[in-house]
Amino acid sequence: MLDEIVARYRAGDRLALARLLTLIARGEELEAVHAALASASNKALVVAITGSAGVGKSTLVGRLAEHLRAGNKTVAVLACDPQSPLTGGALLGDRVRMPSRPEDAGLYIRSVAATSGNQALAEHLELMTRALAAFGFDVILLETVGAGQGDTAARSLSDVLVVLVQPESGDELQWEKAGLLEVADVVVVHKADMAGAERTQAQVKELLGLPGCRPIPVLAVSSTKNTGFDELWATISAQPRRLDAAASDAGSLLRRAQQILAERFHDRATSLAPLVERWKRHEVDETQAADELLSVLSR
Ligand SMILES: Nc1nc2c(ncn2[C@@H]2O[C@H](COP(=O)(O)OP(=O)(O)OP(=O)(O)O)[C@@H](O)[C@H]2O)c(=O)[nH]1
Ligand SMILES: [Mg+2]
């Protein structure tokens, strides 16, 4: 049955995509799904949007998706919402303030129950993201709740992580400081239509502008007024892609392994060359590369 789903998924069938995501979310057939996605190409930009409850993540994600669609980019949204486990309808209807357009093949929205343990959730999210990327979406937006642990997971799952704060967060801002510095690639003062937004933006800039800190852009965006989105997208696009960097790290690790093998066991090094070539062509992922590396070594 999985074979059939995968075949239809590869042919671009959205229903098959939905079924594949459901299997992943339930933690079923993960080995087979891993294998099916192992050699899939991945050119999607993965953007995580995080921040505390009520800061307007869903609204902003909806708006951003609209902007991207207007620019002809295809978009998939994965929304993790611990308060409403798997309520696809509610997500579209109430929470994401975005016209639901089921006829738009370039937009796909899916909610994810964030009830499983952190580690399992992260693993499932990673696979779901890969399944969406391999399906061909240009951009994947991940809405995650901003609880320290979750942020760190979202960071490793995304190319760019955007943290939302809102005006006059007061004490909360102190708490955010450590978290922001640790995880954010871009900070957005959201609800910029509210009083105090400019002050908050200045405060956050000051917090993040400490000497020795890596520079983090701090933008003002209002979903209600629909302002700041061009700059937001320009800033996100200008960030280096973390997942590419991770992949090239793994690539250089593989090349180093080849070097060491060449020095010590000449015959095995040549047997590793095809793997390195396939890695360069993105035909294997890290897991598969590691497996094959081990099998070459244990021969
Ligand atoms: N003034 C103002 N209010 C906004 C803006 N964007 C969202 N809101 C409001 O903020 C509230 C929370 O919005 P959501 O998008 O549900 O926030 P969220 O962060 O996804 O919330 P959770 O998923 O529950 O954590 C809603 O009442 C929105 O109408 C904005 O740009 N300006
Ligand atoms: Mg939300």
The arithmetic mean of pLDDT across residues 48-73, rounded, is 92
pLDDT of amino acid 233: 98
Confidence of residue 188 (pLDDT cuts 50, 70, 90): very high
285 vs 25, 32, 231, 240, CA distance in Å?
A: 21, 14, 33, 20
Q: Which ligand 1 atom sits closest to the C-alpha of 55?
A: 19
Give me 14's structure tokens: 């959205």
What pLDDT was estimated at residue 95? 43
Mutational test site, ligand 1, from 49, 50, 55, 59, max ligand atoms within 8 Å of CB: 59
Of 146, 110, 113, nearest to 129 (Cα)?
A: 110
Res 119 pLDDT > 70: no
Judged against a pLDDT cut of 90, whether residue 74 lies above it is answered with yes
Nearest to 48 by CA among 119, 134, 112: 112
pLDDT at 170 over 80: no
Give the lowest-confidence range in 27-36, 109-118, 145-154, 243-252.
145-154
> For the chain, what percent of residues have pLDDT higher than 70?
75
What sign does the CA torsion over 158, 273, 264, 255 have? negative
Cα dihedral 118/177/209/181 (nearest 10): -20
For residue 59, which atom of ligand 1 is closest to its CA?
A: 15
pLDDT score, position 6: 93
Q: Look at residue 214 in the predicted model and tell me its pLDDT.
A: 73
Q: Which pLDDT band, with edges at 50, 70 and 90, does 204 fall under?
A: confident
Which chain residues have CB less than 5 Å from ligand 2, an ion?
57-58
Alpha-carbon span 201 to 183, nearest angstrom: 18
Range name among 14-23, 134-143, 280-289 with the lowest pLDDT average: 280-289
Mean pLDDT score of the chain, rounded to an integer? 81
Tokens standing for residue 189:
């003062």
- Written as one string, the DSSP assignment of 39-61 is T----PEEEEEE-STTSSHHHHH
What is the predicted pLDDT for the residue at 103? 75
Q: Is 50 exceeded by the pLDDT of residue 129?
A: yes
> How many A from CA of 223 to the centre of ligand 1?
9
- Give the pLDDT mean for 200-214: 81
Q: Whose CA is nearest to atom 21 of ligand 1?
A: 54
Q: In this structure, what token pair is assigned to residue 290?
A: 């590691």
Residue type, 277: E
Q: Which tops the pLDDT comparison, 41 or 296?
A: 296
pTM for the model stands at 0.80
Q: Which ligand is nearest to the CA of 97?
A: 1
Query: What is d(CA 45, CA 272) in angstroms, rounded to the nearest whole number?
Result: 30
Q: Which atom of ligand 1 is nearest to the CA of 222?
A: 31
Ligand 1 surroundings by CB, under 6 angstroms: 53-59, 81, 83, 95, 145, 190-191, 193-194, 222-224
Angstrom distance (rounded) from CA 186 to CA 174: 17
Length of the chain: 299
Distance of CA 197 from the midpoint of ligand 1 (Å): 15
CA 2 – CA 183 distance, rounded (Å): 37
SS3 state at 227: strand
Confidence of residue 298 (pLDDT cuts 50, 70, 90): confident
Atom 2 of ligand 1, residue of closest alpha carbon? 191
d(CA 288, CA 292): 6
* pLDDT for the residue numbered 80: 81
Alpha helices in 221-298 (DSSP H): 229-238, 242-264, 266-280, 286-297
First to last CA, the chain: 34
**Predicted pLDDT at 81:** 64
Q: Which residues pair with 222 in a beta bridge?
A: 227
Rounded CA gap, 144 and 82, in Å?
9
Q: Is 60 exceeded by the pLDDT of residue 193?
A: yes
Give the HSE-up count for residue 54: Cα atoms under 13 Å, Cβ half-sphere: 2
User: Which tokens is 230 given?
Assistant: 């061009």
